Amino acid sequence: MTPEEAFGQALRVLRAERRWSQERLALESGVDRSYISLLERGRQSPTLDTIFRLATVLAIKPSDLLARVEVHVGALRGRAR
């Protein structure tokens, strides 16, 4: 799994935990809904600004969001061995 895919997976889980649609996350964060979709599918890399916006509205520290991404990447790298 790429870092982009891991970010998307972490973002999707956080959004689902809050029972938010992509539309709601987009409205709350000021990020376009289609961009949220691209992020969740691992098709785009988020900018630093986007990471901070998303983390803020999801009530998580940006470093904690990235730690979740790191866990997803590490878990898959461990499986590949």
**Rounded CA separation 13/7 (Å):** 10
* pLDDT of residue 81 exceeding 50: no
* pLDDT of residue 77 exceeding 70: no
pLDDT at site 76: 58
Domain range 3-80, its CATH number among 1.10.260.40, 1.10.10.10, 1.20.58.340, 1.20.120.1760? 1.10.260.40
pLDDT at site 72: 82
Cβ 42 vs Cβ 4: under 8 Å = yes
**Rounded CA separation 77/25 (Å):** 29
**Rounded CA separation 23/57 (Å):** 13
pLDDT at site 40: 98
Q: Which two tokens stand for residue 55?
A: 């983390």
What confidence tens digit (pLDDT) does each residue in 14-66 have? 999 999 999 999 999 999 999 999 999 999 999 999 999 999 999 999 999 99
**Rounded CA separation 20/13 (Å):** 10
